[in-house]
Amino acid sequence: MLQEDNASVIPLQINEDLTLPKVLVETAKRYGDSKAAMREKEFGVWRPITWKDYLDNVKNISLGLVSLGLKREDKVAMIGDNRPEGLWMEMATLSAGGIAVWLFQDSLMDEVAHIINHSDAAFLVGEGQEEVDKALSVQGKCPFLKKIIWDDPKGMRDYHDPLLISLKEVMQRGRELDQKDPGLFEKMVAQGKARDVALLFYTSGTTALPKGALLSHYNLLTMGQNMMNVDPCTPEDDFVSFLPFAWIGEQMMSISCGLQVGFTINFPEEPETAQENIREIGPHVMFAPPRMYEQMTRTVQVKHLDSTWLKRTLFNTAMKIGYRTADLKFEKKSIPLGWKLLNWLAYTVVFKKLRDHLGLSRIRNAYTGGAAMGPDHFRFFHALGVNLKQIYGQTEIAGISVLHRSGDIKFDTVGTPITHTEVRITEEGEIISKSPSVFLGYYKNPEATTKTLQNGWLYSGDKGFIDEDGHLVVFDRTKDVMILSDRSIFSPQYLETRLKFSPFLKDAWIIGHEKPFITAVVCIDYAVIGKWADEKKLNYTSYHELSQKPEVYDLVEKQIREANKSLKPAAKIHKFVNLYKEFDADDEELTRTRKLRRSFVENRYQDIVRTLYEDKDNVHMDTTITYEDGRVVQIKTDLHIRKLPV
């Protein structure tokens, strides 16, 4: 399946000499002080940064790094929230011929130590005190580390370790070097080649330690161009950068697309204010994992539950109209004039205000990727008139290989390949891809490289097929595909996403591979069910206590029954248990991109899994929970197991 699009091509000629810093230099020359390259909200005010300022900061940091001893192909690790300084540092590293390595800002010390040590990072850039503390704690395990750079002075007054240096001082050293050696920055940028490694990007590691994928400038540039051949962006577009820079999806938009087209990147004031800041900006393009859209849906559903009878009636009526219109579009049928008028009325009265509240008032294309998106969520956003599309790809192909087209969206598929990308299915049912964006290999891992890269084809580890319309259907990770009691194959992700459409359920883990029936471990949404319990006058003191209330089990059972309705008998949930806590990345139950680590949770909760398939009503748990502040709490409890008549 090879896709060629007729959409307008980005007027950038990608050749063997082109690099990301060279694109930055040209874009900065084009716009100078006339246009904002980025904005950051500080102290309640959006502060614009022009393209000239962007390039000047990159230049000063790059030369400052060189003055500290950075050499070509040296690794610079970075950790912190989304902020202009993060992109400046990344581009400064690439301009000097270095390789950027991003870590998730909530990484634990063991994760930080592993990536810094494995990557042989010479420099670590941390946003502030929290990141500096992590770096100082692991420096003994990282022999190649020369300097730790910080840029937020809050809490840093009493830090005097010789390994530390402020970003302000690095930039000053860069300005001094520029005076001594004018033109050095331009020479460094000119030396870069398209096939040079730009990023050492670590995968999410659902089954083992993360692997470091080597991505070249050519990989990133071609991916961005081929994506925008399908969905062109414009220099006037606004994009909000709120996903971790350590996630390839954020690099895909902020770097690969942003530099080429020159749109404005907006940075939230704090991670906690991202949704509010998205609403203020009203981006034209947005990319987010399914969990973000799930949370948006949950927000709307909760407000609906709390609203007056009149508002609920208006919302329900509008949604019926929206769903009907969306379904006609999905089926590629013409919309009768009457339904068009009704949909306009629904938009005017309900959807316009709702989309504005979600920050989607100006959205042209909304993308999701990184995990499966349930059909219920897809239909919900299209009912609102939001052009939500599924992206399929992986770190090893610079982010994206397959994408839904406007007007050709099937919510059980991920669309068709982007320009210059070929997708095939092996005899074993594995999805393989070929494109200019396929990575160079894994760092220090030739065995994994040989297994994943074969004759120019990228082996994804995902099972899928191509339907009659040429759309790719991703079934699941090969290792996660279940064989049910009737010997049919089944994707647990499909049922998990259906359950998460309920505002009361935060997470679900479906179990049943080669077992007599399907079972589920459910994590309730503490905030939503807590509010529901308050209205019901139910007393509780903790997540654990609330989760085991019989009334809460009744509520969860109702959601599961609804999901079971559309399933064949072998795929229906027969038993479930409410877990005493949410799944957490810090407990290694989720990856940093919020994917369930199935092998880990199966081992951790083996007593629950075993008891679900025994004739018992309870399972005893004796475990510890470690909180973010370091507190360790011992939990001894009995979890109730409920059986459903199916």
Q: Which domains does the chain have, with CATH numbers?
A: 2-265 (3.40.50.12780), 481-643 (3.30.300.30)
Least trusted range by pLDDT, from 90-94, 473-477, 616-620: 473-477
Q: What is the pLDDT of residue 435?
A: 96
What does the pLDDT read at residue 645? 79
Confidence band of 491 (pLDDT split at 50, 70, 90): confident
pLDDT value, residue 141 = 86
The pair of structure tokens assigned to 252 is 């895909």
Q: How many Å separate Cα 179 from the centre of its chain?
A: 42
Count of helix runs (H) and strand runs (E) in the chain: 23, 30
Count CB atoms within 10 A of the CB of residue 442: 22
**Per-residue pLDDT at 1 exceeds 80:** no
Please determine, for residue 627, whether its predicted confidence score (pLDDT) is greater than 70. no
Calculate what percentage of the chain has a pLDDT beyond 90: 74
pLDDT at 285: 97
The predicted-structure confidence for 185-212, as pLDDT tens digits, reads as follows: 999 999 999 999 999 999 875 555 789 9
Cα–Cα distance for residue pair 179/35, rounded to 1 Å: 28
Q: Give yes or no for a contact between 256 and 395, defined as CB atoms under 8 angstroms apart.
A: no
- pLDDT tens, 336-382? 999 999 999 999 999 999 999 999 999 999 999 887 788 888 999 99
Q: What pLDDT does 4 receive?
A: 47
Query: Residue range 116-120: average pLDDT?
Result: 95
Over range 116-129, report the average pLDDT. Answer: 94
Distance of alpha carbon 272 from alpha carbon 278, whole angstroms: 11
Contact predicate 420/218, CB 8 Å: no
Q: Mean pLDDT score of the chain, rounded to an integer?
A: 91
Q: Give the CA angle between residues 126, 103, 20 to the nearest 5°.
A: 90
Q: For residue 6, is pLDDT > 50?
A: no
**Alpha-carbon torsion (126, 132, 136, 138), positive or negative:** negative
Per-residue pLDDT band for 7 (boundaries 50, 70, 90) equals very low
The tokens for 79 are 């950790």
Task: Find out whether 136 and 157 touch, Cβ atoms under 8 Å.
Answer: no
Instruction: Classify strands 482-483 and 416-417 as parallel, antiparallel or unpaired.
Output: unpaired
Q: What is the pLDDT of residue 59?
A: 98
SS (H, E, C) 453-517: EECCEEEEEEEEEECCCCCEEEEEEHHHCEECCCCCEECHHHHHHHHCCCCCEEEEEEECCCCCC
| Average pLDDT estimate for 309-336 | 95
Out of 73-87, 188-202, 475-489, 540-554, least confident range: 475-489
Q: What is the pLDDT of residues 212-240, one digit of tens each?
A: 999 999 999 999 999 999 999 999 999 99
Q: Is the pLDDT of residue 170 over 60?
A: yes
In this prediction, residues 451-467 reach a mean pLDDT of 93
Helix axis angle for 217-230 and 20-31, nearest 10°, is 60
- Residue type (1 letter), 250: E
Q: Which pLDDT belongs to residue 446?
A: 96
- Residue 630's pLDDT band (boundaries 50, 70, 90)? low
Supply the angle between the helices 20-31 and 184-191 in degrees, to the nearest 10. 130
Question: What are 68-96's pLDDT values in tens digits?
Answer: 999 999 999 999 999 999 999 999 999 99
What is the percent of the chain with per-residue pLDDT over 70, rounded to a whole number? 96
